[in-house]
Structure 1
């Protein structure tokens, strides 16, 4: 996989209560990924960018909600997220170093 594709696969971490619970319980990290990303691409990108070992990747499509606005019905965009299980002893720290 090219270096350019590695940077396009991972769009950012998902920060939510469910993602935090998954991280504490099962040594997992949740990422928002590109809509056309595969499990193998996500695994390669995480291992290359964060220098960690990945045990398992689960990907799911999140359907955008239909919302009612004053102009009628609108729809939020669909997106894809990946649950990445790291091997025992591995960790990803998102804290910004100054």
Structure 2
């Protein structure tokens, strides 16, 4: 099983990282907290204090086409809130 992890860079996620030292990631839906913790510690070289996860529901979408109204749904996905130990941080844009 291959786990993917991608940081979420939004205003809300940035405020969380500044106030609580908590970083937000989009992860594979089948990943558990222990796998997410090990992957973040391995990739970013930080000590993870806790991991909270949330499954984001798929949204209903519709659009008009020549053949009529098409209705569908986006895929659901998992979000992980990773709290890092005090004094440590994750730099997403350090290699630019």
Q: Same fold (TM over 0.5)?
A: yes
Distance 2:38 2:26 in 1: 15
Which of structure 1's runs of 4+ aligned residues deviate more than 6 A? Answer: none
**Pairs aligned (count):** 92
Structure 1: tracts of 5 or more residues without a match: none
Shift of 1:15: 1.5
TM-align CA RMSD: 1.4
Q: Which has the larger radius of gyration?
A: 2
Structure 2: tracts of 5 or more residues without a match: none
- Of 70, 83, 86, the residue aligned with 1:85 is 83
In the superposition, the TM-score normalised over structure 2's length comes to 0.87
Shift of 1:96: 4.3
In the superposition, the TM-score normalised over structure 1's length comes to 0.85
Distance 1:96 1:28 in 2: 18
